[in-house]
Structure 1
Amino acid sequence: MQFKSIEDFVSQQLELLNLERDAEIAESRKLQETFSAKQLQEKGVCILNLVVQGLRSGLYGRTIVTFGSKMVGKELPSSNMSSGDIVGIFSNSSSSQLEKDQICSGIVSCVKSSTIEIALDSECENIDLNDNECYKLLQLANNVTYRRLKMGLNSLKNYQGPAATLMNTLFGEQQFSSANVSLPPILLGHDNDLVWFNKNLDRSQKEAVEFALKQREIAVVHGPPGTGKTTTVVEIILQTVKAGNRVLACAPSNVAVDNILEKLVSNSSVKAIRLGHPTRMQEAVQNRSLDAVLSNSEARSIVNDVRRDLDAQLKQIPKSKKRGPIFNEIKNLRKELRERETKAVKEVLSHANVILTTLTSATQDGPLKHLLPDHFDYVVIDECSQATESACWLALTRAPRVLLAGDHFQLPPTIISPEAARRGLGLTLMERIIQRREDGKSCVRMLTTQYRMHRDIMQWASDQLYHGKLEAHPSVASHLLMELPGVEDNEDTGIPLLLLDTAGCDFHESATSEEGSKANSGEAALVFLHVQRLVESGLPARDIAIVTPYNLQVELLRQMLSGKYPQLEIRSVDGFQGREKEAIILSLVRSNSTGQVGFVADVRRLNVACTRARRHLCLVTDSSTTSRATSGLVEYMEQHGEVRSAHQYLQEMDNVVVPEIGSRITGEAAKPRKVVAPSTITIDSNQTKQEKEEIAAKVKAMLTEWAASAECDASSIKEFPSTLTAYERLIVHQWAEEHGYQHRSVGENHKRRIQIYKSAVTIPQQAGEEIQPPDNEQSHAISFDASASVKNDADESLPKLVEKMELKESDVSSSKKKKNKKQNSASGLENQKVPTKDKHLKHVVPPLAVSEANDNSVKCDDCQKQVPKQNLALHRLRCTGAGPTEQAVKPKQKPAIKPLPSMISTDGKTKDLNRNEKDIDDVLSEFRKLDNVCNYSTCKTGISLMGQLCLFCQRRFCLSHHLPEIHGCGDAIRRQARSVTLKQGFVAPGSLPVKPKVIDTTKRAHLQRKLEKKLEDMSTQRAGKKEEKKKK
């Protein structure tokens, strides 16, 4: 977008800013009027249940109030509040969120995990905040930023300052000037080459530095994730200072400014000053803050004396009854403090050669007002792509040359108004320069070598956004988690990319209101399990971060994980830009039948989320709910990473306690739902008869091929992995029975697997296998696990998994593990179990003596079929519908379930019915009868008219047995009660002593006088009665 003139730009930007301001006010008002305080907290714009933890004075005498949770040590809920935001302070008991009902307002000074500091407005400094009351903070429309932006735009009209040529160039009134041919001699060495402060810069970084130093007006450094953009910017600043120039370094956020300063302070030749409150800064750079430098200046003793007197007066406010004199003294002290600090600030800033600040603080109403208009020679704006152009102009007018650094393919500035966004308010200065057809790209240099990510993590972003130009430095190109000290080499730490697909698991998203933030409890449970696996593998929790687009999901994950792993970081995508971790787990949350993904569809947001990972990226999402961007990412991870279905984790998820998301849940997850294990989930109904026949045909074809191969001999055992579905296990058992092979199930829970072998092989019993001791001629008697039901099918069939694994093996042939597998296969190591994740049939050859196959068989009494003796028990179980009682394994029951009435004989024993003789209509009829009887095992009360459904076991009971503690769900309701208590942060009313209510001092004095008068009247009455008695 190009503008006809500077006046055209100013008028358009002011109009768009007004639209944005109106939208911000309207949204704020709508939130305040339509949502409760609890809902506002879930949306990230309100924090409840706060108490005053401290009062102190800040720069220029401003009062700083520290708020914390009323529960000592508890972390504050996730919110959108950050330094510089305007907030209103309300009484926690007030039901109103309107600005007219607020106690006072202020600006967020610092946000920590358990506290938030507010700098009170000047008109609110005499407000008495009682430390015995609870308060709530509500984010308000930011009028300060709007006022500063408007003032900065108006100053561009008729501008005649040091940046006049730069301004004309940026608005197209003149072309970019040609670069200088050579660098200043002071920067060159004996060989006329640039002397580098950082000798480890790569080729693209050095080219960018030399290019920026030669440019006459503007240089743009495009730095994709991990390419060392800030390192390059710091080198340019150091070289500029060495040439005798003074630099103003800015960024849209405090974190970005601190990153520059942290790298600058290592060089002693730089006199750097950081504007802003020290508590907003990282601890490593707080000593370079203006406050810290002032405290070490010559005027510090006088200023500190005044500040001590001011703090002492502030502490007296809650204790004193006569506060008028105190407020007058505070007013005088503040005036004296401002005068002395102004003089000291002017002296400190004039001696600095680098001043760092946020863009919105680089205005004439801040500390920079003490400097001359032409004080700076060079302006640096880092993360320029995250700031609106109007914000950039607050700093651009202060110097004739500028360096812009950023990545316009990462998160853009946040724009609330759709109309303002459509008309170009979100278009950044960096984008506008690059889009100039004539000479825009001539002032841009892109960094191409990244030092953060494994090449597989990097490649998707490189191909999608950076035209495939990114290269991974050899030091990081193939690094994995398992290479870190103390980390095991396993299936989780040995892969850079992992996709946990929740498709078909019914893990729908949920929201607390129609427009509220969203969460996904199923994905949260998966994230919990993966974090647990990584930590158990030896990876410290501090090296893991969970990133998700929604605040409600952040809050849910923090409730589940922060207590167990305090060093684990859980943040939104917007809050994690510019950061990195060894392992990133990305939960996309969205899962619905309509395929809506919201702002997750923004490829720039996905770019930021994925490129935070160094060695391991785990994506948790529903592959059936995708946009163009997310589907491309899912396809890439399917081709280059490992894919696991959430079905593989369902049994482990049954032990994960997921807190309730909210009281007003809407969407497809609104109904109460429990994460269920494979033994209780039914997915087979989604498959058609034709699909089942295709699965059975493929499994049987593979088994037949194996039986005809040279691998199948009298000594071989074929073992299937635990990933087989119940239906596929049934096909394997049937095939083995039909072809005269022995078959058994070994292992427990999610590690359960099937083995088939020739009948004469002698195998010792393994832990967890369900077999009976051999009887004379029978080698093994087999009993089925209750979880191996035909109904308990999984979403991912065996043939589909084989196809995916084979595709992965062909695409990722360079993997170390797979090379080892190929070597093992080629060397003919037939006496070892070859571990592989890519093959479904594992070859196991135990070193045991074997004999020829036994062809003994018997005839079934029911169906007259010839079956092997060893499989007779299994055949009877399938043929008659009930196996021998000595082979039955009693499952754990909760609660007891009644058998069908038709299955009970007259003597009270269960009949052994043949399935072929039982009509399906009769079975359904029996179940309908059960629906009208209490499900408690010993109760026969009818519940057709009056009954109660248990939300935990989903069964109906009579009024005598409907309480969970009575019919067997006591543990479930206690677990729910604990989670509710932890989420709400307080115990139910009446269970603890009530804290006495604090009464206002004026009202207390009135009540005291009233009490004294009443006591005096009563005393007078008693005295009068005594005199009357004496007279009598």
Structure 2
Amino acid sequence: VTAISEYLSVSAGACDDGPLKFLPAEHFDWVVIDECAQALEGSCWIALLRARKCILAGDYKQLPPTIKSQKAASKGLSLSLMERLIQMYGDSVVRMLTVQYRMNSAIMEWASKEMYQGRLTAHSSVERHLLKDLPGVTCAEETNTPLLLIDTAGCGLSEMEATDEQSKGNQGEVDIVELHIKALTEAGIKAKDIAVIAPYNLQVDLLRQKLSTRHPELEIKSVDGFQGREKEAVVLSLVRSNRKGDVGFLAEDRRINVAVTRARRHIAVVCDTQTVQNHAFLKSLIDHMTEFGEVRTAFEYMQDIVPQNYTREHKDTKANTLGSSSTSTKQSVKEAPNKVKKGQKKSTSSSNKENPACSEKCTKPSASTLSEEQQNKNRYAEIRQLVENFLKDLTQSELQFPSSFNSHDRLLVHQIAEQLGLVHESRGEGKDRCITVSRPRESATADELSQAAEEEEKTLEEEAISLSPSKLQSQSPLDLKSLHLERMKREQQKREENAQQKKQQSSIPPAQNLSSKKSKDKKRTKAGACDIAAAAAPDHDFDTLIKAVMKADSVCSFVKCKASVLTLGQLCLFCNRQYCLSHHIPEVHGCGDKAKSHARMRISKEGVLYAGSGKKDKSVDLNKKAYLQRRLDSKLKDMASQRKPKNKEKDS
């Protein structure tokens, strides 16, 4: 045993109860402890007592020792021996390895600046290597950039939380990570060369459920699972997305440093910049990737996202343009200019050609120093000024706003057009959605004429026909607001007259009332309704009434429509009638006002309008349900094992 010159073991293996008990205490000259920054100081002293000199190797800017007791950590147990010695003696006992052989220089520069005083340099063999340089990998946008930031700000991809613990998850980021992994693998990158890192265990579980079956070799772990390792490409999901701007334990700088520096050629960060920018260290990462990498919005990956506008309580936060901007800056600013998203570039250019007057004003970003309330007021004033200028210019038939407007701007346009009595409608879908504002229609279409049996529509048509274009040009600029008020007064008078007529009809006997209704409202009343009214007369029995009701329910309730609704039909929530698929929309069969008021009530109450004006889906998410089921099974298994009787020792 005394002939041993080198001994390799873990720190606990160097204790006096191991093989070293046969050697004298001064047998070794040196003790070398690797990854010393991640070891408890007490465990280091087990081996240090065996020699007079020591070499401590490690990086105290990465993960510290794992301490379960917060009280012990606060009293100094989390401080490693290496970090304490550096604090005591400074740089005189430190020799820093400044050349790294792993990362692309664009990835390295952020960590070097923020954690290592800018002293790191990249070896020439790895300084500019990219994913496209790997054998069998095609040149694509994803393989040609070392830094990629996918911003979910304003996309409504909020975090989810397990009810019984502090772990967090974000299903929207899981979907984006899946799409990015798909793009990388289709470009020729092997799944075993990609790492997916998430700071929360719940997010790790969600990612594994989504990706493990399709990519068995793909490693999906938390930050602790990748300490001391590396991968060609790393996809980092930061999870946190909330209105408060709370980042939780993402504020641990060393943990983020480990996650980012695992990448050799490509790092993709999926996060909500409005949330994570509240922490200075994370903000420096976002700023670095914005300046030297490519920035994308989550809308490029998911076309069906419903945007949400965030309201900040503090005033010092700068206005974030990452959610709506798709500019991507390459590693060298001089060589490659900023890029704009393809879809946005096409849509904004086409809209600017049609409306050059509004293209300059409508795309101005608000000043970052103003409060959000003041920004909303200024934006409202700008849009209203554009609409008023459109009203003054009688040569323009409609005003089309660019598709670069966000959901809040589109809401302002709808409100202003409603106040001024203008026709406003949305056109296009997804990124091409835009709003068109036009003057009140001068002539009705053929479908409107067929449904214009009511007196209100007749008067509106007469009013529109009387105002011919020649008269409008000869008169002074038309005050549409006063015209709208006069029309509302006439409608109020008609409603009062109709109410009086109903009172008079209620005093008439049912038989006479039925005959008068048939004579006056033949065109307006549906045949099924007439049959029901006739069957309700005193000279008919109850069975006839039931048959008439059943017959009416089997046919679409829309006037002049005879389509059957027995197999396919939809019940209107506002009038409680059955309609075919051609007339089931409330605006088509006459319930548009009720649907509009219902939508306004819901958006004012919940702050978001769901698809189809329906209710929020409160069913449990399948991924979360599976996660909770696994926790329940493990808990039941533990309790079952505790109930098992212990084997009694047999009497000898």
TM category (shorter chain) comes to 0.5 to 0.7
Q: CA deviation at 1:423?
A: 2.8
Which of 533, 552, 555 matches 2:202? Answer: 552
Residue 574 of structure 2 aligns with which residue?
Answer: 932
Q: CA 1:720–1:443 in 2, change beyond 3 Å: closer, same or farther?
A: closer
Residue 732 of structure 1 aligns with which residue?
Answer: 352
Counterpart amino acid of residue 461 in structure 1: A
Residue 721 of structure 1 aligns with which residue?
Answer: 342
Which of 297, 303, 315 matches 1:645? Answer: 297
Q: Could you tell me the TM-score, scaled by structure 1's length?
A: 0.36
Q: CA deviation at 1:921?
A: 11
Aligned mates of 2:572, 2:17 — CA distance in 1: 78
Per-residue CA shift, 1:462-494, capped at 9, x if unaligned? Answer: 111111111100111001111111111121111
Q: CA deviation at 1:521?
A: 1.2
Residue 442 of structure 1 aligns with which residue?
Answer: 92
How many matched pairs? 424
Contact preservation (8 Å) 1:360, 1:394: yes
Contact preservation (8 Å) 2:148, 2:295: yes
Q: CA deviation at 1:931?
A: 5.5
Aligned mates of 1:394, 1:903 — CA distance in 2: 94
Residue 356 of structure 1 aligns with which residue?
Answer: 8
Identity, % of aligned positions: 41
Q: CA 1:389–1:884 in 2, change beyond 3 Å: closer, same or farther?
A: farther
User: Helix, strand or coil for the counterpart of 2:76?
Assistant: coil
Q: CA deviation at 1:562?
A: 0.7
User: Helix, strand or coil for the counterpart of 2:301?
Assistant: helix
Q: CA 1:979–1:463 in 2, change beyond 3 Å: closer, same or farther?
A: closer
Contact preservation (8 Å) 1:934, 1:956: no
Per-residue CA shift, 1:286-308, capped at 9, x if unaligned? Answer: xxxxxxxxxxxxxxxxxxxxxxx
Aligned mates of 2:484, 2:87 — CA distance in 1: 76
Q: CA 1:1000–1:643 in 2, change beyond 3 Å: closer, same or farther?
A: closer
Which of 32, 35, 52 matches 1:383? Answer: 35
Per-residue CA shift, 1:586-621, capped at 9, x if unaligned? Answer: 111111111111221122111111110000011111
Residue 56 of structure 2 aligns with which residue?
Answer: 404
Residue 82 of structure 2 aligns with which residue?
Answer: 430
Contact preservation (8 Å) 1:684, 1:793: no
Contact preservation (8 Å) 2:572, 2:578: no
Residue 453 of structure 1 aligns with which residue?
Answer: 103
Per-residue CA shift, 1:729-778, capped at 9, x if unaligned? Answer: 77336327999xxxxxxxxxxxxxxxxxxxxxxxxxxxxxxxxxxxxxxx
Q: CA 1:376–1:529 in 2, change beyond 3 Å: closer, same or farther?
A: same
Q: Are residues 1:476 and 2:126 paired? A: yes
Residue 635 of structure 1 aligns with which residue?
Answer: 287
Q: CA 1:625–1:981 in 2, change beyond 3 Å: closer, same or farther?
A: closer
Per-residue CA shift, 1:801-844, capped at 9, x if unaligned? Answer: xxxxxxxxxxxxxxxxxxxxxxxxxxxxxxxxxxxxxxxxxxxx
Q: CA 1:936–1:376 in 2, change beyond 3 Å: closer, same or farther?
A: farther
Per-residue CA shift, 1:528-555, capped at 9, x if unaligned? Answer: 1111111111111111101111111111
Q: Are residues 1:521 and 2:171 paired? A: yes
User: Helix, strand or coil for the counterpart of 2:273?
Assistant: coil
Contact preservation (8 Å) 2:200, 2:222: yes
Aligned mates of 1:368, 1:935 — CA distance in 2: 89
Aligned mates of 2:445, 2:194 — CA distance in 1: 51
Specify which structure has the higher proportion of helix. Answer: 2
Contact preservation (8 Å) 1:683, 1:791: no
Alignment map for 1:584-599 (pairs within 5 Å)? 584-599=234-249
Contact preservation (8 Å) 1:501, 1:645: yes
Q: Which moved more, 1:358-367 or 1:459-468?
A: 358-367
Aligned mates of 1:930, 1:474 — CA distance in 2: 69
Aligned mates of 1:400, 1:521 — CA distance in 2: 54
Alignment map for 1:247-396 (pairs within 5 Å)? 353-366=5-18, 368-369=20-21, 371-396=23-48
Residue 274 of structure 2 aligns with which residue?
Answer: 624
Contact preservation (8 Å) 1:682, 1:791: no
Contact preservation (8 Å) 1:682, 1:792: no
Contact preservation (8 Å) 2:151, 2:273: yes
Contact preservation (8 Å) 2:572, 2:579: no
Q: CA 1:599–1:904 in 2, change beyond 3 Å: closer, same or farther?
A: farther
Aligned mates of 1:629, 1:978 — CA distance in 2: 31
Q: CA 1:793–1:486 in 2, change beyond 3 Å: closer, same or farther?
A: farther
Q: CA deviation at 1:952?
A: 9.3
Q: CA 1:596–1:877 in 2, change beyond 3 Å: closer, same or farther?
A: closer
Alignment map for 1:930-1009 (pairs within 5 Å)? 932-933=574-575, 937-938=579-580, 984=629
Q: CA deviation at 1:400?
A: 2.3
Counterpart amino acid of residue 932 in structure 1: F
User: Helix, strand or coil for the counterpart of 2:135?
Assistant: coil
Counterpart amino acid of residue 259 in structure 2: A
User: Helix, strand or coil for the counterpart of 2:50?
Assistant: coil
Q: CA deviation at 1:444?
A: 1.9
Residue 275 of structure 1 aligns with which residue?
Answer: none
Residue 431 of structure 2 aligns with which residue?
Answer: none
Q: Could you tell me the TM-score, scaled by structure 2's length?
A: 0.54
Q: CA deviation at 1:560?
A: 0.6
Q: CA 1:417–1:682 in 2, change beyond 3 Å: closer, same or farther?
A: closer
Alignment map for 1:551-700 (pairs within 5 Å)? 551-626=201-276, 627-651=279-303, 676-677=304-305, 681=306
Aligned mates of 2:645, 2:308 — CA distance in 1: 66
Counterpart amino acid of residue 223 in structure 2: V
Aligned mates of 2:212, 2:625 — CA distance in 1: 16
Per-residue CA shift, 1:914-959, capped at 9, x if unaligned? Answer: 999999999xxxxxx9753469754899999xxxx9x9966559xx
Q: Are residues 1:413 and 2:65 paired? A: yes
Two-structure CA RMSD over aligned residues (Å):
5.3
Per-residue CA shift, 1:152-193, capped at 9, x if unaligned? Answer: xxxxxxxxxxxxxxxxxxxxxxxxxxxxxxxxxxxxxxxxxx
Per-residue CA shift, 1:395-452, capped at 9, x if unaligned? Answer: 1112222111001111111233344333322221111222224xx5333211111000
Residue 392 of structure 2 aligns with which residue?
Answer: none
Specify which structure has the higher proportion of strand. Answer: 1
Counterpart amino acid of residue 247 in structure 2: V
Contact preservation (8 Å) 1:682, 1:793: no
Aligned mates of 1:558, 1:903 — CA distance in 2: 58
Counterpart amino acid of residue 83 in structure 2: E
User: Helix, strand or coil for the counterpart of 1:599?
Assistant: helix
Alignment map for 1:24-173 (pairs within 5 Å)? none
Aligned mates of 2:141, 2:358 — CA distance in 1: 36
Contact preservation (8 Å) 1:647, 1:795: no
What stretches of structure 2 of length at least 5 have no aligned partner?
312-320, 326-339, 360-399, 410-421, 424-433, 465-479, 490-570, 596-601, 603-608, 634-642, 647-652
User: Helix, strand or coil for the counterpart of 1:620?
Assistant: strand
